[in-house]
Amino acid sequence: MFSTEYKYKPGRSNLSGARPDAKGVNFSIFTRHASSVELFLFESAKSEEPFQVIKLEKEINRTFYSWHVYVLGLPKDTWYTWRIDGPNEPKEAGLHFDKDKHLIDPWARVVCDINWNRQAACEPGDNMLTSMRCMVVDDDAYDWEGDKPLRISSEKSIIYELHVVGFTRHKSSNVKNPGTFSGLIEKIPYLKKLGITHVELLPIMAFDEQDAPKGTIDLGLKNYWGYSTHSFFSPHPGYCVTPAQGTHVTEFRDLVKALHNANLGIILDVVYNHTAEAGSDGPIINFRGIGENIFYHHAIDDKSILHDYTGCGNTVNANHPLVCSFITSSLEYWVREMHVDGFRFDLASALARGEGGVVLQDPPVLWSIELSEQLSQTKLIAEAWDAAGLYQVGSFPGHRWAEWNGKYRDVIREFLRGDRGKTKELATRISGSSDLYQHQDGLPINSVNFITCHDGFTLNDLFSYNEKHNEANGEENRDGCNNNLSNNCGVEGPTDNLDILELRKKQAKNAFTLLLLSEGVPMMLAGDEILNSQNGNNNGYCQDNEITWIDWDMMNQNADMLRFVQNMITLRKRHSSIMRRRFLTGNIIEERGIKDISWHGKKIDQPLWDDPNNQLLAFTLAGIGEPDIHVIINLSDQQTLCELPEIKGKVWCLSVNTAENSPYDIIRRPNQILMKDKTFMVDEKSIVVFENADM
């Protein structure tokens, strides 16, 4: 039971958010220009009236720019909002104080949006009944059972990008609580059997599902991907089984602990480049109501105009000292209190911008993250570009940041669709992209290699569609990327033509073979291993339905593809020559008497680097204490007879041939086929892999 009136005292300013202890709760919020601050306390997330309103006094409850109060005896599960007044001077000062708006705490550990109405937060008037609410949470009240973040080395990592809902919502998923952290726990045995080492979750920090274009909302769609964060310390309520009870922290921790028990790491896709408050006509949720002029980039002459380097209406002023501290503290919280193993930063180049949008050589926020002791063992992955044209692949500030290698994606797609004269760049990309990273003392593990991700075609659709088909998004097919570098193999979309279906599957196997044979860190999109399709939609950001949900019946329909991917992952794991931490040199390894890597064409040691029509590349990787590997990639339309290298005391065995059907497309030892000839006929548009053994 809640008291009708709790006593309170000034409290402390240095404890941001709501911090409970044995005697009560300390509340503190930073708001530099506020003239009055009120704290509203509610019994539940649905309460129509607060049970107490505490009006803070400037002379008592303010220290420097923080307002604070300690409420004696207040229960830990109390819900609350802030209401703050101050100057409303958007043009002159970039301030949007509104005394009628109920704000959520930027430092809140739990936020509930059960009553949320985005439009009401955009319009004048009191929105108490339709605002989000925060809950006081005791972070220490959880039994981790000895769990700690994992320390899986990057060169041994295989990342699997998935959406919590998309992975578990389809009726075929057969989980108890579809679309939740709990549902994902039930799918861990599948992830373990697949062989990946880390899941990378699309945004799970609390975001606004109502943040989407009007035409999209009118169709009953919503912000599904989650790139619209408003609360950077709270798990998303929509992914919880009982969000109105404030179980967010416990449910997310249960997921992390279960993944770690299976020796699977967890990487969070995080969105610090913009927030759900959008442009100048967006809602007042939190940052805008406490100090917009600090948290966002503004035009110099008219501060009502927000600079937009993200395509989402606003850009976070990440290199302001307060915001820099906020971002770093948020990341440290997710590692320290939630035990996550890494982060992938959406449009990370936006974080490299200073005042006026100037690109900084040494952005304080990026170095703060890199040099944080608490984050020192945490994986940091940058999407090294932003929506305003800044492209930093190979030049992202910092040293240990890995990058989504967009150049890898593009050349692999080009080569697979049949583009000619790409073998030189292909060789550079599959050997770790030394041209991008070695000159600045980088490593192959700085490159996160991917061919598909959530944004764009699935792997199945990459070989089934030449054009995007996004009409269902309500934007007349204007949204989404037009440059997909795809090839439909002869027919746009579904077909009954068995030859085309066979070619599409072979191309999918080719893609996985290249990805898993490449130096660097491979990342695959969930569902690609069972040829999941989005019907040609390459921008499923708003489709919380069967367009984006994984149909688990495809596991049976494409069991041969799933088997191939599982075995390719196993092949990668047994060859440290593929999982190198340092770049290949092309020099002879003394203890073996052969080069660490040798490049070939149809003939040994004769790669056709300068042939503008060439579509074939072969290479040999030397093993130390393990078999050597020889790979022949033939994306031409012709069968090609290729020489096999001779290595003293060794004989080649055929391991992979993507032209064959299961189970002969990938063969485990000791059933591999012994090569008696010195040549091998490689089928058109296929890849073969050989492993050798002692004679």
What is the number of alpha carbons within 13 Å of residue 364 lying toward its C-beta? 13
Contact status, residue 341 vs residue 266, Cβ threshold 8 Å? yes
| Residue 406, phi then psi, degrees to nearest 5 | -65, -30
**Distance of CA 663 to CAs 204, 652, 658, Å?**
38, 19, 11
Rounded CA separation 344/275 (Å):
16
- pLDDT at residue 624, as a whole number: 87
| Token pair 């929105």: residue | 127
The pLDDT assigned to 416 comes to 98
Alpha-carbon 254 to chain mean position: 20
Q: How far apart are CA 147 and CA 279, in angstroms?
A: 41
Closest CA to 112 of 181, 46, 52, 28: 46
User: Residue 175: how many CB atoms within 10 A of its CB?
Assistant: 18
Average pLDDT for consecutive 10-residue bins of the chain (695 residues)?
Answer: 84 95 97 96 96 97 96 96 94 92 98 97 97 95 94 97 98 97 98 98 98 93 98 98 96 98 98 96 96 92 93 96 97 98 98 94 97 97 96 94 98 97 97 96 97 98 98 94 97 98 98 98 98 98 98 98 98 97 95 95 96 97 95 98 96 98 94 94 98 90
CA–CA distance, 613 with 519 (Å, rounded to integer): 26
Residue 299 has, within 13 A of its CA and on its CB side, a CA count of 13
Rg of the chain over Cα atoms, rounded to whole angstroms, equals 27
Quick one: tokens of 401? 């940041």
- Rounded CA separation 375/395 (Å): 21
- DSSP letters for 409-476: HHHHHHHHHT-SS-HHHHHHHHTT-HHHHGGGT--GGGEEEES--SSS--HHHHTT-SS---GGGSST
- Residue 695: predicted pLDDT: 77
User: Which helix (H) or strand (E) covers residue 599, if one does?
Assistant: strand 597-600
End-to-end CA distance of the chain: 79
Examine the residue annotation and report whether 355 is marked as an active-site residue of this protein. Answer: no
Range 136-140 contact pairs with CB under 8 angstroms and sequence separation of 24 or more: 136/18, 136/20, 136/25, 136/74, 136/75, 136/76, 136/77, 136/78, 136/79, 136/80, 137/18, 137/20, 137/76, 137/109, 137/110, 137/246, 137/249, 138/20, 138/76, 139/109, 139/249, 139/337
Give 385's strand partners. Answer: 391
User: Do 353 and 297 touch, CB atoms closer than 8 A?
Assistant: yes
Among 251, 277, 383, 425, the one annotated catalytic:
383
Q: Which domains does the chain have, with CATH numbers?
A: 8-135 (2.60.40.10), 154-573 (3.20.20.80), 588-694 (2.60.40.1180)
DSSP letter for each residue of 54-120: EEEPHHHHEETTEEEEEEET--TT-EEEEEEE----HHHH-----TT-EE--TT-SEEE-TT--HHH
Contacts of 684 (CB under 8 A, 6+ apart): 634, 636, 637, 638, 639, 640, 659
Give CA 209 to chain center in angstroms. Answer: 18
Backbone angles phi, psi at 394, to 5 degrees: 90, -5
Residue 96's pLDDT is 87
Helix 423-430 × helix 406-417 angle, to 10°: 130
C-alpha to C-alpha distance for 456 and 540, rounded to whole angstroms: 8
DSSP tag of 150 = -
- The CA-CA-CA angle for residues 521, 525, 526, to 5°, reads 125
Whole-number pLDDT of residue 3: 66
Q: Is 383 a catalytic residue?
A: yes
Enter the tokens of residue 228. 């619209």
pLDDT digits (tens, 9 = 90+) for 54-108: 999 999 999 999 999 999 999 999 999 999 999 989 899 989 899 999 999 999 9
| C-alpha to C-alpha distance for 378 and 370, rounded to whole angstroms | 9
For residue 431, the tally of other CB atoms under 10 A from its CB is 22
Q: How far is CA 16 from CA 53, 69, 106, in A?
A: 19, 11, 9
Question: Exactly one of 200, 208, 308, 346 is catalytic; which is it?
Answer: 346
pLDDT in tens, 248-286: 999 999 999 999 999 999 999 999 999 999 999 999 999
Q: Is 670 left (phi over 0), alpha (psi -120 to 50) or beta?
A: alpha
CA atoms of 645 and 508, how far apart (whole Å): 27
